Structure 1
Amino acid sequence: MGVEIRVEGLTKSFGSQTIWQDVTLTLPAGEISVMLGPSGTGKSVFLKTLVGLLKPDRGSIFIEGRDLVTLRESDLYEIRKLFGVLFQDGALFGSMSLYDNIAFPLREHTRKSESEIRQIVNEKFELVGLQGAEDKLPGEISGGMRKRAGLARALVLDPEIILFDEPDSGLDPVRTAYLNQLIVDLNAQIDATFLIVTHDINTARTVPDNIGLLYHRHLAMFGPREMLLSSEEPVVRQFLNAQRIGPIGMSEEKDADELAAESGQELPPLPPIPMQLGTSDGTVRRHQREPGGWCRDNGVTPPPRSFSDDSMSEPVAS
């Protein structure tokens, strides 16, 4: 069962450089959320701050009624047990077998017997589809398998919150599609709170329940998937639909001359909102929303062909 994360007025800087400021959002319990943003906007810093690896300059992070920012180290250590983290490269120990990598947190943080550990590790291997690879070293397997092994290790302590730091980094589109399906299926099975940092627009448009966008040192928007995919907010519209026209340039912000040159250009129409990725077996996740439900409830007319088979035939470049 996932838990809610409530972030209020979070600000982080390194020296004189402000990474982001006054970030406020709520990650709903048990739902899949995605955090997007141009390179260098501090998405990975946000993940590290959520788990208490970095301390913010200001603000609060409330989990189960406790503010992580003010906790003593011993109490923070206990809160971190709620988290599982999948790092970009899997962060596996190169000299250990996959089995020992996944067993490592159990051996370090619990007093379970080796027979209990073996049962748990085997369950996680099966969950991520790595049966038969237990004795392999990380250097002997593909990047996609390393991601799945890293995910198995993130799951081994049965966390209620799972953070994914660019899980699709270095993967081809086919492996990314398999990983996305695995994430959706896992959420249906364990009902944990998921937060995914990614650059992959197709992932952001089809996988999550909620989307956030960090831009220009602040949170531009956070909310249900359909809200952002139907948004006319310039930076949200440009980024989520991979469009050239808009405030984002090669160096994050376009200058006045670039924006003036675009003045008067007609924006391309919003693409259809695709169906959300479902589970492999067709079951409905507990927090999955009805297609078009947010748009209907908020009086928003979605782009033509949204939530239909046609919407899946127009992929957005990422």
Structure 2
Amino acid sequence: MGVEICVEGLTKSFGHQVIWQDVSLTLPAGEVSVMLGPSGTGKSVFLKTLVGLLKPERGSVRVAGRDITRLREHDLYEVRKLFGVLFQDGALFGSMNLYDNIAFPLREHTRKSESEIRRIVLEKMDMVGLIGAEGKLPGEISGGMRKRAGLARALVLDPEIILFDEPDSGLDPVRVAYLNQLIVDLNAQIDATFLIVTHDIASARQVPDNIGLLFRRELVMFGPREDLLTSNEPVVRQFLNGRMQGPIGMAEEKDAAQVQQELAQIDERGPAEGLPPRLLPSPGITRPPRWEAIARREAGLRWEEVSGA
């Protein structure tokens, strides 16, 4: 079962440059959340801060009740065992075959026998559809297969939280569709807490339970998928619809008058698109009910909302 992550008042800077400030949200246990935002808004920095690789200037990140921003290195190492991370390029060792790449965390962090390691590695490779490719090197396989191998490696220590850093980068639309289905199926099978950083709007519309949007150094909104997809917040509508008209510019320098003029033109063309259906697990895979999420949606409650930038 996944664990809840509570972020409160989080601020991160590099020198005098503020990346984002006063970010507060709760990633519900066992659910899939997506973090969106224009390029350069610090989405990957946010992931690294959640896992304790970067230290924020202010705020807290509570994982299983422990604030990782204040833990000593030894205690932080223990909390990190709850995490699995899929990096953009899979981060595979080029000189190792897929089997040894996936086995690496088990050999590095556990004292399991090789027979037990083999059982776990083959189980995870089967989950991501890589059985039969154990002996292949990363350079011999497609980008989609490398992503799946990286995901299998992220799964071998049975994490309760999995972070995905732009898992769709470099993939064609068909491979992205396969990867999205794999993510939904895995979440139903292992019930871990997932957070995905992505630019892919189709994925954001179909995959998550919750969506957040970072813009101009702030968290504009975070909440249930249906709240974001039906929001009238200008920056949310612009980003989800991939339009030039709105607060987001090439260099984020639009003035208020220009934005209002563009938004008025959009309104004349009609309302935003309707709510698309959420991607369901594959046949035969049953997703356990999230009773808290069901109650939240039935009550029409919004988890978190911060005033727009």
Could you tell me how far apart the structure 1 residues matched to 2:245 and 2:34 are?
Answer: 23
Kindly state the Cα deviation for residue 241 of structure 1 after the two structures are TM-superposed: 2.0
**Does residue 54 of structure 1 match 2:72?**
no
Give the match for residue 152 of structure 2: 152
Q: Which residue identity does 1:175 align to in structure 2?
A: R
Matches within 5 A, 1:51-130: 51-130=51-130
Could you tell me how far apart the structure 1 residues matched to 2:167 and 2:222 are?
Answer: 20
Cα distance per residue 1:70-119 (max 9 Å; x no partner): 00000000000000000000000000000000000000000001111000
Could you tell me how far apart the structure 2 residues matched to 1:284 and 1:223 are?
Answer: 24
Give the match for residue 287 of structure 2: 285
Q: Which residue identity does 1:298 align to in structure 2?
A: G
> Gaps spanning 5+ residues in structure 2: where?
303-309
Kindly state the Cα deviation for residue 238 of structure 1 after the two structures are TM-superposed: 1.2
Q: What TM-score, normalized to structure 1?
A: 0.90
Could you tell me how far apart the structure 2 residues matched to 1:261 and 1:233 are?
Answer: 15
Could you tell me how far apart the structure 2 residues matched to 1:140 and 1:146 are?
Answer: 10
Could you tell me how far apart the structure 2 residues matched to 1:129 and 1:278 are?
Answer: 18
**Structure 1 residues 131 and 263, CA gap change in structure 2 (3 angstroms):** closer
**Structure 1 residues 12 and 287, CA gap change in structure 2 (3 angstroms):** farther
- What is the number of equivalent residue pairs in this alignment? 300
Could you tell me how far apart the structure 2 residues matched to 1:83 and 1:278 are?
Answer: 24
Q: What TM-score, normalized to structure 2?
A: 0.92
Give the match for residue 272 of structure 2: 270
**Aligned 8 A contact 2:189 2:285 in 1:** no
Could you tell me how far apart the structure 2 residues matched to 1:299 and 1:9 are?
Answer: 22
**Aligned 8 A contact 1:130 1:145 in 2:** yes
**Aligned 8 A contact 1:278 1:284 in 2:** no
Cα distance per residue 1:107-158 (max 9 Å; x no partner): 0000001111000000011000001100000000000000000000000100
Kindly state the Cα deviation for residue 182 of structure 1 after the two structures are TM-superposed: 0.1
Identity %: 76
Backbone CA RMSD of aligned residues: 2.1
Aligned partner of residue 252 in structure 1, secondary structure: coil
**Structure 1 residues 251 and 288, CA gap change in structure 2 (3 angstroms):** farther
Could you tell me how far apart the structure 2 residues matched to 1:281 and 1:134 are?
Answer: 27
Cα distance per residue 1:189-232 (max 9 Å; x no partner): 00000000000000000100000000000100000000001111
**Aligned 8 A contact 2:185 2:285 in 1:** no
Kindly state the Cα deviation for residue 251 of structure 1 after the two structures are TM-superposed: 1.2
Could you tell me how far apart the structure 2 residues matched to 1:223 and 1:263 are?
Answer: 24
Q: Which residue identity does 1:168 align to in structure 2?
A: D
**Structure 1 residues 254 and 54, CA gap change in structure 2 (3 angstroms):** same
**Structure 1 residues 49 and 133, CA gap change in structure 2 (3 angstroms):** same
> Gaps spanning 5+ residues in structure 1: where?
301-318
**Structure 1 residues 59 and 208, CA gap change in structure 2 (3 angstroms):** same
Cα distance per residue 1:222-275 (max 9 Å; x no partner): 000000011111111111222222111111342346326426324241111111
